[in-house]
Amino acid sequence: MKILVISNLYPPEFLGGYELGCAQMVLALRAAGHEVRVLTSLSAPAADHDEHDVQRILELPPIYSRDRMHSASADVQQYFQLLAYAVNPANVGALGQAIIDFEPEVAYLWNLLGLGGLAVLALLDHQGIPWVWHIMDIIPRQLAGFGTTGPELSREFGRQFPGRYVACSAHVLGEVRAGGLDLGDDVYLIPNWIHGDPPAPRTEFFGGGELRLLTASGMLCEPKGTHILIEMASRLRDRGFANFSIDIYGHEEDSRFRTMVFEHGVQDTVRLKGSRSHPELLELYSSYDVFAFPTWSREPSAFAPLEAAAAGCVPLFSDGCGNAEWMIDGVDCLKAPRTAEGFAQRVEQLLVGEVDLPGLGRRAQAVAWREFHICRAAAKVEAILAGAVGHGKAPRGHPGEFFALAKFAEGLIQALLQEA
């Protein structure tokens, strides 16, 4: 198949697992013999291996830069949002040219936020190109709820933009549908994955010395539960436990969590370790006992707990997040209510020997490599893409014609925003 992948970011530029997962799936599809071209933004310099297979030619307004958005006037913010959610004529033109040059049989969509996602969908429909959208966040709901068009577009979304959807959890799928979107019947659940070759089974586990915990995210923040881990450490210390440590990996946007560590008096137990590259984190997991992840209920399904499990590092995550539907508490993971007390109780059980952590670690590692390897996910995605190919339609015109329509739509929506 000739597959056109569209993603707002692509490694080496990434925000988290969404973009890394996209790159891993691209490699898996190429390894299966498919011709895959990636269309992404020019927010990162070209990598050495890009060549013609990764085209970094799309525009991405600064919607992910909090400082730039806050410093912009209200009108400029609205314009950035218009380009990000609805229509960016330059991206329509670039996508149209890519369609002419590459002649894809199917489009494989990832995060469209920032690219003028509604116009991307409209152009693919205009050209009769079938598409499959991999959902690892509520992006369809965000696009459909843009500006003043929200309720009407949400109700019409499935009819206006017919396609196939792959979701990483029923959890995120439910959140998308809660916005009023009818995604149709072609919706598939495929869990996130690990990749690479399995190491030798882990043999060294916590046996009563120091229990080593870690967590990792792109940025230290409340949604990922950084504050919960600091409060958890304080509770365990107050109960007399001292044989544990928590290393927190991720970018510190400000000093609030470092201040919190000192306010709770746990600076000897909780260590803020800064950012690490993805390969560095993969190497680190095998030297820890538990991956603690008190993420918020909106978590679609994170890659990091699976990657930790693949190294025999037992994932302990919130019982209401997307990851919780794919693993079994007490069998290949641990789950806890998303509170400092909930996580403290589970860690206390480990410290006093009430939980067979070595058994959990061995099962977690075996399950991760058996059930969650990318080869299983890629085979399912390949079949869904192949099924979509047979449902393409005749184009309604030349891609270049859509550029003029995109310019008109940009002006129309901008006028609507000004009136609102």
pTM > 0.75: yes
Neighbours of 274 (CB within 10 A): 11
Per DSSP, helices labelled H in 72-149 are 74-81, 89-102, 117-126, 139-144
Q: Does residue 243 sit in the same domain as residue 340?
A: yes
Average pLDDT by consecutive 10-residue portion of the chain (420 residues)?
A: 96 87 96 96 66 86 78 78 85 91 96 92 91 95 70 67 92 91 90 94 90 95 96 97 96 93 96 94 96 96 96 97 95 98 98 95 97 97 94 68 64 57
Q: Does residue 145 sit in the same domain as residue 287?
A: no
Of how many residues is the chain composed? 420
What residues make up the domain containing 132?
A: 2-193+375-419
Q: Does residue 170 sit in the same domain as residue 318?
A: no
Strands (E), 275-366: 290-293, 314-318, 334-336
> Which pLDDT does position 148 carry in this prediction?
47
Place of tokens 């009769």: 128
Distance between the two ends of the chain, CA-based, in angstroms? 45
Q: Label each residue of 140-195 as H, E or C.
A: HHHHHCCHHHHHHHHHHHHHHCCCEEEECCHHHHHHHHHCCCCCCCCEEECCCCEC
* Chosen domain end from 351, 371, 391: 371
Given phi > 0 = left and psi -120 to 50 = alpha, else beta, which region is 92?
alpha
List, for residues 361-396, the tens digit of each pLDDT value. Answer: 999 999 999 999 999 999 999 999 999 997 767 666
Q: How many domains does the chain have?
A: 2
Residue from 116, 125, 64, 63 nearest 93 by CA: 116
Q: Does residue 320 sit in the same domain as residue 410?
A: no
User: What CATH number is associated with residue 361?
Assistant: 3.40.50.2000
Q: Does residue 411 sit in the same domain as residue 329?
A: no
DSSP3 helix / strand / coil % (the chain, rounded to 5): 45, 15, 35
**Would 200 be classed as within a structural domain?**
no
> Which pLDDT does position 405 carry in this prediction?
64
**With contact defined as beta carbons under 8 Å apart, do 89 and 118 qualify?**
no
Pairing of strands 211-219, 35-41: unpaired
**Would 111 be classed as within a structural domain?**
yes
Residue type present at position 104:
P
Q: Does residue 124 sit in the same domain as residue 255?
A: no
Q: Does residue 31 sit in the same domain as residue 57?
A: yes
